[in-house]
Amino acid sequence: MGRDAAVTDAVVRDVVVVGAGGMGRAWMDVVEAREGLRPAAVVDIDTSTARAAATERGWNVPVFDDVAEALREAPADLLLNVTIPEAHRAVSETAIRADVPVLSEKPATPTVADAMWLSALSAARGVLLATSQSRRHSAGISAFHHALRDLGGAEHLETQFFQNPRFGGFRDEMPSPLLVDMAIHQFDQARYLLGSEPESVYCEEFSPSWSWYRGAAAAQATFRFSNGSRFGYAGSWCADGLTTSWNGDWRASAPGGSATWDGENAVRLQREEGPVRHLPVIPDQEGLDAALTEFLSALDGREAPSGEISRNIRSLAMVEAAVESSATGARVELDAVFARAGAVALAEAHAAGEDEIADRLSEWAGGPPR
């Protein structure tokens, strides 16, 4: 689909894609398949990579190595931020200041303080910023969620995540690759499944002797949620053999019984000593495509997406709190994480003379965005 391709939808939105690596190309394919979207530009620090990605898809669009320049030169109704995490804040901030809504790959930023800043900027400018928590969207997790509601709501939720990717690149060098780059998916899924928000965590992370990562690639964590429920996470990114789904392998106990989900399409439920039921999983939009649908619906004036920055920041805070707990060996309260992050963001806003950001942060009084 080129820039001049005919689109049948009444509303046609021009999309700038920032980041032309593996995930950037995956997002470009989602754009390619979606009527009502038109590629406007591709941005990457390596313009040859951007040009190759565009050419592979027959996109006759300009390429840039600078986001601000791209937004000045190319029409944009939304921007897909598919850069490395360290670049997320700068790219999203540039787009928001240009009044361009942003759908970003996770995490929104590497730190809660940066996410607080972006959330305040988004709220002050009235420009939507959302994170694509694509693993919240699947037919399997929807069926599992319905099962937990039917059982009266889970009070004990567990997931095991064991995979063995050989990524190479920045993930191999990260201090906490599993927690920072992957666990946010399962943490976000837990918030959705429990219908509650996390209050505290105790976590230990470590490196098995055979790990090929520089940082800790395995972790165990227990979260307490505001409704009294507990969520246990056990994971590894260096587990050869008997790997789980990329969504993890889940079990929940509730007042009316228990349910399991294999992370794909097998959802089981049992009430007390009754028969085990295999629940139907109804096909629906999943992954990136579902996250994009949710975002576009919000641009049309409907409900804010589940990954909207003020909501999604709680999933990021779970990661930051887990990393802190592992480093200190102590339980960490998420209120303390937000208080410190808010103070850092507020000090930065005052130092930069960003009154509209400072005003928003002050309204939240050291707590998460609201």
In CATH, what number is assigned to the domain containing residue 193?
Answer: 3.30.360.10
Give the pLDDT score at 96. 98
The boundaries of the domain holding residue 189 are: 139-279
Give the pLDDT score at 10. 62
Binning pLDDT at 50, 70 and 90, where does residue 365 land?
confident
Neighbours of 23 (CB within 10 A): 16
The SS3 assignment for 5 reads coil
Binning pLDDT at 50, 70 and 90, where does residue 5 land?
very low
Binning pLDDT at 50, 70 and 90, where does residue 1 land?
very low
Pick from 320, 352, 355: nearest CA to 334: 320
Strand ranges of the sheet holding 267-270, from the earlier edge strand across to the other edge: 277-279, 267-270, 257-261, 249-254, 156-162, 230-236, 218-225, 198-206, 332-333
- Is the predicted pLDDT of residue 328 greater than 50, yes or no? yes
Q: Convert the pLDDT of each residue in 204-224 to its tens digit.
A: 999 999 999 999 999 999 999
- Is the predicted pLDDT of residue 54 greater than 70, yes or no? yes
Residue 129 domain flag: no
Q: Convert the pLDDT of each residue in 109-155 to its tens digit.
A: 999 999 999 999 999 999 999 999 878 888 999 999 999 999 999 99
Is residue 1 within 8 Å of 58, Cβ to Cβ?
A: yes
Give the pLDDT score at 70. 98
Residue 48 domain flag: no
Percent of the chain residues topping a pLDDT of 90: 86
Q: Convert the pLDDT of each residue in 241-265 to its tens digit.
A: 999 999 999 999 999 999 999 999 9
Long-range own/partner contacts, residues 43-50 (CB < 8 A, 24 or more apart): 43/16, 43/17, 43/18, 43/19, 43/67, 43/70, 44/18, 44/19, 44/20, 46/20, 49/20, 49/21, 50/20
Give the pLDDT score at 315. 96
The SS3 assignment for 303 reads coil
Number of domains composing the chain = 1
Residue 337 domain flag: no
Residue 265 domain flag: yes
Give the pLDDT score at 267. 97
Q: Give me the mean pLDDT over the 299-307 stretch.
A: 92
- Is the predicted pLDDT of residue 298 greater than 50, yes or no? yes
Give the pLDDT score at 284. 75
Give the pLDDT score at 9. 42
Point out the least confidently predicted range of 3-7, 76-80, 310-314, 362-366. Answer: 3-7
Q: Give me the mean pLDDT over the 292-321 stretch.
A: 94
Residue-averaged pLDDT of the chain: 93
Is residue 278 within 8 Å of 267, Cβ to Cβ?
A: yes
Q: Give me the mean pLDDT over the 19-29 stretch.
A: 95
Q: Which uninterrupted H or E stretch holds 66?
A: none
Question: What is the C-alpha to C-alpha distance for residues 11 and 33, in angstroms, rounded to an integer?
Answer: 16
Percent of the chain residues topping a pLDDT of 70: 97
Q: Give me the mean pLDDT over the 305-312 stretch.
A: 93
Binning pLDDT at 50, 70 and 90, where does residue 3 land?
very low
Residue 43 domain flag: no
Residue 310 domain flag: no
The structure's pTM equals 0.91
Residue 249 domain flag: yes
Question: What is the C-alpha to C-alpha distance for residues 276 and 80, in angstroms, rounded to an integer?
Answer: 43
Residue 146 domain flag: yes
Is residue 291 within 8 Å of 307, Cβ to Cβ?
A: yes
Residue 210's Cβ-count burial label (10 Å; 0-12, 13-18, 19+) is exposed
Point out the least confidently predicted range of 4-8, 44-48, 93-97, 260-264. Answer: 4-8
